[in-house]
Amino acid sequence: MFKYNTSDIIVLSISLVLIIISSIGLHFWLKDKKTSVRKIPLQIIGVLIVLLEIAKQIYYFTLYKKTGNFDLYVLPLHFCSLFIVLFPVIQFSKPKIADKLRPLAVAYSLLMTIMLYVNPHALLASACNNIFLNFHNFHTYLFHHLVIAYFAYTIALNDYHPHKNDFINCCLGVVFYGLYAIPFAYILKVNYVNILYSVFEPLEKIRQLLLSKTSYVFTQIIYDLFMFLIACLTLTLISKMYYLVYNAKNNKK
């Protein structure tokens, strides 16, 4: 955690400053515009993130045709892959659907943002060392920063009005993700979002200790339930805190 090299410090700092400046600019430029106009920056991100994912799959499929090897890790089965669906659906669907999913997009993107700055290498690997070295680095950097920008622009453009029970939607989203991600992780033997084992050493030591005392199946059931429980509790805290801050801010006006 908090392991930054020089490239990380420079790239992440500049990127964050640019996102903040653009958020402030968009706020003052669009704050008096009608909703359909204020949504345009978020709609652009929604389209870009889908196009970026399509480009990634085309790139790796083309690579597979040349080498005969396909990296299953690039399939959109990561937790962050939810944004590929959430962002465009929220921005282009009917309000009734969008309002149900908007809490997920905000809470999940905030969680991802926190995780990125706490442990950048876990999400970005070495992408900051040379963003344009290859497509993988470029995609990794741009994808995650589009998510950060989406969260920042949501606040700047007042696109989300939280309710006290929004945490329920967030937790249901995690359960839905787990229903397909967990089976695929074990079938494909790919460690999507730490489902098979933890890259966080203290937690992995606990998993290994439990594994030494009991069966693999029992260990993994307990481990995965614990992981998803922590995710739900964290998102509940984020959702509740966002709701309280939002209301405190608006009550002062």
Per the CB < 8 A criterion, the answer to whether 74 and 115 are in contact is no
| Structure confidence by residue, pLDDT tens digits, 64-101 | 989 999 999 999 999 999 999 999 999 999 999 999 99
What is the CB neighbour count within 10 angstroms for residue 236?
Answer: 16
Residues in contact with 27: Cβ distance below 8 Å, sequence separation at least 6, in sequence order? 156, 157
CB 83 within 8 A of CB 123: no
Q: At what angle do helices 216-251 and 166-188 cross, to 10 degrees?
A: 150
- pLDDT for 149: 98
Provide the mean pLDDT of the chain.
Answer: 95
Alpha-carbon distance values, 6 to 62, 129, 167, 222 (Å) = 33, 9, 37, 39
- 209, pLDDT greater than 60: yes
Residue 108 and residue 171 in contact, taking contact as beta carbons nearer than 8 Å: no
**C-alpha distances out from residue 186 to 180, 181, 242, Å:** 11, 9, 34
What is the pLDDT, as a whole number, of residue 99?
96
Does residue 253 have a pLDDT over 70? no
- Taking only the tens place, the pLDDT of each residue in 9-64 is 999 999 999 999 999 999 999 999 999 999 999 999 999 999 999 999 999 999 99
Render pLDDT for 109-142 as a digit per residue (tens, 0 to 9). Answer: 999 999 999 999 999 999 999 999 999 999 999 9
240 pLDDT band (50/70/90 cuts)?
A: very high
